[in-house]
Amino acid sequence: MSAEPDTEAVAAGLRRRLADQLEEGGRLRSHEWRSAVEAAPRHVFVPRFYRETDAPGVTTWEPVTQETVGREEWLRLVYTDATWVTQFDGRDIDWADPKPISNAVPTSSSTLPSLVVRMLEDLDAHEGMKVLEIGTGTGYSTALMCHRLGSESVTSVETDEGVARRARAALAGSGHTPHLLVGDGRAGCPGDAPYDRLIATCGFRSIPPAWLEQVLPGGVVLTTLRGWMRSLGLVRLTVSGEGASGWFSADDPSFMIARQQDAPESLGTVPGPDDGTRRKATYGPEVLTTSGPAFMAQLAAPQARFFSLPVDGGQAGTFVLDSTTGSFAVLTVTDSGRQVRQGGPYRLWDAVESAVATWEEYGSPNRAVFGVTVSRNEQTVWLGNPNGPQWPLPS
């Protein structure tokens, strides 16, 4: 962890510059969190990382270390407002001989500082409060919280043992000793409860019930919700005696899904050309990839995933499959219009079209008019108010 004094001086300057940028962008709003950004040595938490290349074709990442790009460029990159990937497919990287990586899924990273800081500001945590973090990752966000609240007030859970070990060393190297736990963050950490605040930097399909038992009434849970097709966004819930409720934020930040909740490997069985019943479709496959409608599609079909394949006669079709129930929808767009062929126990495309139509009836609003209510028995996302149109989250 030791670095030449020169590195420390350059890094301190870069941290001030990063803090200026985050302030100008409106993400950093208080002097307490500014002081944390100026203090936390991100280069200790991401000494080596991967960045996406702009090469055309399949997404490829290249290694960035002092050796591969030189110390000056490495430090400059560390302190830019970017997400740096530190692990793929749950496997540690061989840093003795790092190679470019493609066809892989990032499984750990140091999140975009502007997103981390904005979440910390939204968390509204003050001196004397206890915070539970889910997804320690590199430990950088943990360090920011330790600086602001004191190590004794911070507990952080990481599911990956190697990731947690490196975070522990980096935190100790920068003088912080929070309680770090290796485990599934869905269980929280009952031993340190109750907490005033809970912040998750990986996405969950619904709110884990244990969190509500461990956060005090009046406390805040800040997490992203996500599905298998896309992220639903960031929610800020206030815990009550009965459960929790709150609103989505207007923008669309996305985190990697919790490891235990990743989609099943198999996409399901591709239906045959004569399976299902056909009808004209009101909406086509574009709703799956356009921000607002895609959010509605994710709510309406929480178990589904989609992909394109040639169908009858070689023309492209979009397959929407729910491997858990065997329900399917196949969408095609021809000169005569949009068509859907559906089958299985659940009419997937009927549900998607109904949700998108509701969203349009309400004026195609952004995410900020949606909220979440969590009770002991169910969790729902609603539009406008808790009695408005609603969609259950998977339990």
Are the CB atoms for 229 and 298 separated by under 8 Å? yes
Q: Between 227 and 317, whose beta carbon lies closer to ligand SAM?
A: 227
Q: Which of 201, 223, 245, 380 binds ligand SAM (CB under 6 A)?
A: 201
Kindly identify the residues of this chain, within the stretch 318-377, that bind ligand SAM according to CB under 6 A. none
Closest distance to ligand SAM from the beta carbon of 236 (Å): 17
192 binds ligand SAM (CB under 6 A): no
Burial 136-148 (b: 16+ CB within 10 A, else e): bbbbbbbbbbbbb
Measured between its terminal Cα atoms, the distance across the chain in Å is: 43
Closest distance to ligand SAM from the beta carbon of 258 (Å): 4
Q: CA 114 to CA 28: how far, in whole Å?
A: 8
Q: Assign 271 to helix, strand or coil.
A: coil
Q: Which of 41, 47, 63, 137 binds ligand SAM (CB under 6 A)?
A: 137
Residue 320: count other Cβ atoms within 10 Å of its Cβ: 24
Q: Which of 11, 14, 116, 220 binds ligand SAM (CB under 6 A)?
A: 116
Window contacting ligand SAM (CB under 6 A); options: 25-33, 130-138, 321-329, 336-344: 130-138
Closest distance to ligand SAM from the beta carbon of 115 (Å): 9
110 binds ligand SAM (CB under 6 A): yes
Q: Assign 219 to helix, strand or coil.
A: strand
What are φ and ψ of residue 157, in 5° steps?
-115, 130
Binding mask 259-298 for ligand SAM (x = CB under 6 A): xx--------------------------------------
Q: Which of 61, 74, 79, 140 binds ligand SAM (CB under 6 A)?
A: 140
Cβ neighbours for 164, distance < 8 A, ≥ 6 positions apart: 136, 158, 180, 181, 182
Q: CA 194 to CA 210: how far, in whole Å?
A: 11
Active site includes 153?
no
Q: Between 206 and 318, whose beta carbon lies closer to ligand SAM?
A: 206
Residues written for the chain: 395
92 binds ligand SAM (CB under 6 A): no
Q: CA 164 to CA 20: how far, in whole Å?
A: 30
Window contacting ligand SAM (CB under 6 A); options: 118-126, 154-162, 277-285, 380-388: 154-162
Q: CA 357 to CA 299: how far, in whole Å?
A: 13
Cβ neighbours for 55, distance < 8 A, ≥ 6 positions apart: none
Q: CA 38 to CA 156: how far, in whole Å?
A: 22
Closest distance to ligand SAM from the beta carbon of 136 (Å): 6
108 binds ligand SAM (CB under 6 A): yes
Q: Between 224 and 332, whose beta carbon lies closer to ligand SAM?
A: 224
Closest distance to ligand SAM from the beta carbon of 54 (Å): 22
Closest distance to ligand SAM from the beta carbon of 85 (Å): 9
190 binds ligand SAM (CB under 6 A): no
Q: Which of 43, 111, 166, 248 binds ligand SAM (CB under 6 A)?
A: 111
36 binds ligand SAM (CB under 6 A): no
Q: What are the angstrom distances between the C-alpha of 94 and each of 50, 67, 98, 207?
A: 12, 14, 6, 35
From 2, 35, 102, 108, the catalytic residue:
108
Are the CB atoms for 52 and 59 separated by under 8 Å? yes
Q: CA 308 to CA 289: how far, in whole Å?
A: 12
Catalytic residues: 108
Give the footprint of ligand SAM on this chain (CB under 6 A): 107-111, 116, 134-135, 137-138, 140-141, 157-160, 163, 184-186, 201-202, 255-256, 258-260
